[in-house]
Structure 1
Amino acid sequence: MNVNLKQRIDEMRDEIIKSTKEIISKKSVKHSPVANMPFGEDIHKCFTYTLDLCKALGFETKNIDNYAGHAEFGSGEEVVGVLVHLDVVPEGDNWTYPPYGGEIHDGKIYGRGTIDDKGPAIAALYAMKAIKDSGVKLNKKIRIILGLDEESSWESLKYYLAREKAPDVAFTPDADFPAIHGEKGILAFDLVKTFADKVSDEGIRILSIKGGNRSNMVPDYCEVQLMSNNSLKSKLEAYVKSNDVKLEILEVDDRITIKSYGVSAHSSMPEHGQNAISQLILFLNTLDLEPGDISDFIKLYSEKIGMEYHGESIGCGFNDKPSGKLIFNVGIIDLSEDRVKVTVNIRYPVTLTDEVVYKGIENNLKNSGVTIVSHEHSAPIYLPKDHELIQKLMKVYREFTGDDSEPIVIGGGTYARAMENAVAFGPLFPGQPELAHQKDEYISIENLIKITKIYANALYELAK
């Protein structure tokens, strides 16, 4: 542990807090491109703020056509990298404090991105500043790379790496401690079915179901529009009482709206949330629906997906020793009287392939009329625990925490999988609540300063 780095970070404490509050205030949700702003104006403003901060801290900066950028110092051919992202998922509803307020309450800074990934980005930046100010001699460069669409297509980092040489070794502060030596494979795809068979028999008619924002979020809201000759209020109230779910009903003549409220969470940890889509479908499956393709689909969803998040009933309940069980999350549903599209996000074990996962699902959905439309795949990454990068990061982590835990494998997907010799490292300590993609996301000031010290020492170990 370098005492000088620790002392310098303590001196910069107020600056670190101020910069974190400022970057949180820059709403940076991805939007359609506008003139020379590939990810929309909001992300661009956050990006230019961060580049300006890097310059003010004394780093050399580079803007790669507004797609990405970096800041660096040091000399030599080899580069030690920190990969961060400035974009955030949509804020969602029901925050206790403003999602872009950067307000401090009980020693915690609240706001979208405080833990994923703006707070850690600021920590890494000031970790670099501490090393620079300490005057230690390095024979490598230290570079922070600023990505702008990690929560969606990774177009930003792909554009950057097509034009700049990747660091020789790197970490991303965008997951958990201790060091992460593996990340599960990620699949995103749609389950699609066209409805041809429509029967009118006085049963309950489903007009539409809509819910969810992103495949990589557990949806916290979904609603269905129905037509029914009879009130469904008593049935819903009885179901809510016996199943401990939050459903609300609005009835105007024969038109009925049912609203389903869940709990948002990151799709890699659906057990921390409550899927508003799935709980609504399960209720609909208890009703006397009109026979036909729509009611068949509701039944199929209930039987093959339900509230499961390991994919057992749909044929992909795989697991392996290094990384555990497959994770299955329904993120979005868009159902009309003509067709349905359900968007699914899967995190599969590191020793498997996407072909094995798809084959399991296809076999299970045979003759259902449901087709799979794939639109994202990111292969798993895996480094042995004795890899030099893992060893150095673990050394620093153990010195600071006294925690002798082993490196871990996660279901989350980070920038580490974009290049060789890169892993995720922090910022969440064991036992801390996972607040990424959830309301009331926060980082405690104590941990913000602590991770800055850990990152400074990690970068020093990798670059000295």
Structure 2
Amino acid sequence: MNFINLIDEYREEIVKSTQEIIKIKSVEEEPKENMPFGEGPYKALQYALELSKKLGFDAKNLEGYAGYAEFGQGEETIGVLAHLDVVPEGTGWTYPPYGGEIHDGKIYGRGTADDKGPTIATLYAMKALKESGVNLNRKIRLIFGTNEETGWGCMHYYFKHEKAPTMGFTPDADFPVIYGEKGIIVFNLEQKINSNDCDSIKIVDLKGGNAPNMVPDYAEAILEVENIDSFDEKYKEYIKEKKYPITINIENNQVKVMAEGISAHGSTPEKGENAISYLMDFLGYIFEGKCDICDFINIYNERIGFKHNGEGIGCGLEDDISGKLNFNPGLIKLEDGKIILTINVRYPIKTTSKEVYDGIRANIDGTKLELVEGTSDSKPLYVPKNSFLVETLMKVYKEQTGDISSEPVTIGGGTYARAMENAVAFGPMFPGQPDVVHQKDEYISIEHLMKITKIYAHALYELAK
């Protein structure tokens, strides 16, 4: 496999190309003509297509929604689905988020790991195969998406206008191979609040969370309290008993209650600390009467709070492939006379969203809660472990890394793999590596970048030969 050795010769090019594409701020913006997701994602797509042509591939721009680079012959196609858009940079970076700077052998910047670095790695893996002159019986096509982080409009457009690859992978998750992904739904639990006061305490506002698929790291409630001294005493008793991260700020007869949590991905709620659950626990200590607010708080604390698998609210589903359902209360707000709690659920591969909804409705029957279904249902992905695709990728991974003990895995997250039949997620993160995706100081080490380029070259060869 002399194409593996060729990759070492591309080291400088691979690093430079990664740096250059990182410098493009490809966060979704307002659409412009021929730029459906804004100027940033379009510029990243342009860069990728121009680089593809420079490397000798056929390249096509699909009206600014997506694009692809390909080479080879044959009726069948191996597809690699990657994305060029990124989430916003956030704050607190040590190095410029769009600088592509190298420090201690690492390239820093938003998108280095997710998913621009792996995209560049795949391009140069294809170059190695092309220049080595190996005989392939299938075409190889690298598909560039431009709005993976915010809606998948790019993939919807692509598959509406282009034939789906025969099989493929996305370099946008973890090694060794992810052969299954749970189904994903987002929905609301809502309750009308006819009266927002109880026992001389009135709730003025309630809010928390940043997105349904994130464990909320902050939540707050604004209360009007008649007896501040009594409230303050009760607060001190609670903190002494529970030691939860709750603080209060008192101004006249208004109290701001603040709960701090620890964020995590909505697919792994157990890895975070839910600020909404902390807040509801405290409010349950304060509101002890019979009122609409009390009803909601009690139901939350009894059936949702600090439970991560839906077991308290009728959807504690589980299967032997993907394990337990993941249940994340991601957002809460008091709006137009009702409390709206937004839930992100990752349901097991062998179950359905209908089972989730039916279970919850049965559980809350007789309460004032109403379940409002979401508009989308991202169905589970499953490719058998003994399939040609999974077995081939596992073989390549073990040969390239020497890790012979790892087995294919399932996840609660969702990748481009579920956009087509017979696709899985394959890298780029190795087991045990720090998770830098969507975080400040996102980076990819140059050695990591070179290693995945070799893995992807080998994988594409085995799939296409």
Write the distance in 2 (CA, Å) between the matches of 1:25 and 1:390: 34
Judged with a 3 Å threshold, the aligned counterparts in structure 2 of structure 1 residues 277 and 437 are, in CA distance, closer, same or farther, namely farther
Instruction: Write the deviation string for residues 12-65 of structure 1: whole angstroms up to 9, x where unpaired.
Output: 223222332333333333344333322233322332232233233332211111
The answer to whether residue 424 in structure 2 is matched with residue 423 in structure 1 is: yes
For the residue of structure 1 that corresponds to 2:285, the secondary structure is: coil
The answer to whether residue 221 in structure 2 is matched with residue 220 in structure 1 is: no
Write the distance in 2 (CA, Å) between the matches of 1:126 and 1:93: 32
1:299 Cα offset (Å): 2.2
Are the counterparts in 2 of residues 208 and 337 from structure 1 also a CA contact under 8 Å?
no
Matched pairs, number: 461
The answer to whether residue 435 in structure 2 is matched with residue 434 in structure 1 is: yes
Q: What does residue 444 of structure 2 align with?
A: 443
Q: What does residue 354 of structure 2 align with?
A: 355
Q: How does 1:200-239 map to 2 (within 5 A)?
A: 201-203=199-201, 205-229=202-226, 230=228
* RMSD of Structure 2 on Structure 1 (CA): 2.4
Write the distance in 1 (CA, Å) between the matches of 2:189 and 2:21: 38
Q: What does residue 173 of structure 1 align with?
A: 171
Judged with a 3 Å threshold, the aligned counterparts in structure 2 of structure 1 residues 235 and 109 are, in CA distance, closer, same or farther, namely farther
1:172 Cα offset (Å): 0.5
The answer to whether residue 405 in structure 2 is matched with residue 377 in structure 1 is: no
The answer to whether residue 17 in structure 2 is matched with residue 19 in structure 1 is: yes
TM-score in terms of structure 1 length: 0.91
Q: What does residue 409 of structure 2 align with?
A: 408
1:324 Cα offset (Å): 0.9
Please tell me the residue identity of whatever aligns with 1:211.
G
Judged with a 3 Å threshold, the aligned counterparts in structure 2 of structure 1 residues 57 and 151 are, in CA distance, closer, same or farther, namely same
1:425 Cα offset (Å): 0.8
Instruction: Write the deviation string for residues 302-321 of structure 1: whole angstroms up to 9, x where unpaired.
Output: 22211222111111111111
Judged with a 3 Å threshold, the aligned counterparts in structure 2 of structure 1 residues 89 and 328 are, in CA distance, closer, same or farther, namely farther
Write the distance in 1 (CA, Å) between the matches of 2:118 and 2:90: 21
Judged with a 3 Å threshold, the aligned counterparts in structure 2 of structure 1 residues 199 and 219 are, in CA distance, closer, same or farther, namely closer
In structure 2, runs of 5+ residues without a counterpart are: none
The answer to whether residue 254 in structure 2 is matched with residue 255 in structure 1 is: yes
Q: What does residue 146 of structure 2 align with?
A: 148
For the residue of structure 2 that corresponds to 1:218, the secondary structure is: coil
TM-score in terms of structure 2 length: 0.91
The answer to whether residue 306 in structure 2 is matched with residue 330 in structure 1 is: no
Judged with a 3 Å threshold, the aligned counterparts in structure 2 of structure 1 residues 410 and 42 are, in CA distance, closer, same or farther, namely same
Write the distance in 1 (CA, Å) between the matches of 2:104 and 2:240: 35
Are the counterparts in 2 of residues 236 and 247 from structure 1 also a CA contact under 8 Å?
no
Write the distance in 2 (CA, Å) between the matches of 1:446 and 1:430: 16
Please tell me the residue identity of whatever aligns with 2:387.
H
1:387 Cα offset (Å): 0.6
Are the counterparts in 2 of residues 9 and 126 from structure 1 also a CA contact under 8 Å?
yes
1:407 Cα offset (Å): 1.4
For the residue of structure 2 that corresponds to 1:343, the secondary structure is: strand
1:233 Cα offset (Å): 6.1
Please tell me the residue identity of whatever aligns with 1:9.
I
Q: What does residue 132 of structure 2 align with?
A: 134
For the residue of structure 1 that corresponds to 2:375, the secondary structure is: strand
1:238 Cα offset (Å): 6.4
Are the counterparts in 1 of residues 97 and 109 from structure 2 also a CA contact under 8 Å?
yes
For the residue of structure 1 that corresponds to 2:36, the secondary structure is: coil
For the residue of structure 2 that corresponds to 1:430, the secondary structure is: coil
Please tell me the residue identity of whatever aligns with 1:84.
A
Instruction: Write the deviation string for residues 135-157 of structure 1: whole angstroms up to 9, x where unpaired.
Output: 22323221111112222322210
In structure 1, runs of 5+ residues without a counterpart are: none
Please tell me the residue identity of whatever aligns with 1:316.
C
Q: What does residue 81 of structure 1 align with?
A: 79
Judged with a 3 Å threshold, the aligned counterparts in structure 2 of structure 1 residues 8 and 329 are, in CA distance, closer, same or farther, namely same
Instruction: Write the deviation string for residues 64-123 of structure 1: whole angstroms up to 9, x where unpaired.
Output: 111111111222222111001222334444444444443444433333333222222222
1:170 Cα offset (Å): 0.6
1:158 Cα offset (Å): 1.0
Q: What does residue 38 of structure 2 align with?
A: 40
Q: What does residue 458 of structure 1 align with?
A: 459
Deviates more, 1:46-55 or 1:393-402: 46-55
Write the distance in 2 (CA, Å) between the matches of 1:121 and 1:23: 10
1:403 Cα offset (Å): 1.8
Are the counterparts in 1 of residues 29 and 38 from structure 2 also a CA contact under 8 Å?
yes
